[in-house]
Homo-oligomer: A and B are copies of this chain.
Amino acid sequence: MSTPPSSSGVDVTHPAWDPGREIVLDPGSPEPLYHQVSQQLHAAIEDGRLPAGARLGNEVDLAANLRLSRPTVRQAIQTLVNQGLLVRRRGVGTQVVRTKVARPLRLSSLFDDLAGLGGKPESVVLVNEVEDADAKVAELLEAPGLTRVRRLKRIRSTGGEPLALMNNYLPDGIIDPTDDELRERGLYQLLRSAGVRLHAAEQNIGARLATEEDAELLDEPPGAALLTMQRTTYDDTGRVVEYGWHVYRASRYAFNLSLTNGPQ
């Protein structure tokens, strides 16, 4: 290093990081500059160039080195702070807290999760039809006047072993999937490619014992422990696009959450 040993070294453990040669920007790209910076910092944290505890140089110098304005650099850093990867302290600087990717618990379905893990999910479609909606279903979908709903009932497996039994209601007309499409892709994927902008979901996670029907469908003994999840999904107009109640074999599945203390 060309850095002279400073007598008042705050950071014997980690020298402040110099992004000069590490981060390359393409001003012509349609990708915003702050996003380019943010992603490359993220990558540097993930692959160990920026280990936990490492200090970033101060924002002013960073901006100068990258030939960007300070707000732009701040915006890049802010996204990583929101993800819980960095911590800022006034008068101190910015430090890497954790290397592990703390997924901020995005909107993703079981299918997405399994596919992301490399396991290839399989599906059996038991029910996929449009039927009349009674008042109770209309209330679940928060659409008082609703008369027709699509009902889904599927079994999700991996490695030939059942994993979950999934029931869903969707307002009629949102998507019109074939059984094949339901087998090939997850519900969220189908919704997204139909132009639905998924925005938020409320989930309720509990547990109960397997009934006779559960047991048979999931290949568990009656009375086995099951994980249950009810979910209401909203699009960005506030409309309910899906209500689901799922049960998972507790012996094969658990929910994994990463929480972060975002900006107060």
Give residues in A with beta carbon < 8 Å to B. 52-53, 71, 79, 82, 84, 87, 95-98, 102, 104-107, 198-209, 223-227, 234, 236-238, 250, 253-263
**Residues of B close to A254: CB separation below 8 A:** 204-206
Known pairs A207-B250, A225-B207; A236 contacts B97 (CB<8 A): yes
- Residues of chain B within 8 A (CB-CB) of A255 are 203-206
Q: Are B199 and A97 in contact (CB under 8 A)?
A: yes
A31 to B62, CA, bound (A): 28
In the complex, which residue of chain B has the Cβ closest to the Cβ of A85?
Answer: B200
Is the CB–CB distance between B262 and A82 below 8 Å? yes
User: What's the least CB distance linking A102 to chain B, in Å?
Assistant: 6
Instruction: Say how far A39's CB is from chain B's closest CB, in angstroms.
Output: 11
Q: How far is the CB of A187 from chain B (nearest CB, A)?
A: 15
Q: Which of A82, A87, A107, A257 has the most CB of B within 10 A?
A: A257
Residue from B52, B71, B79, B203 within 8 A of A238 (CB atoms): B52
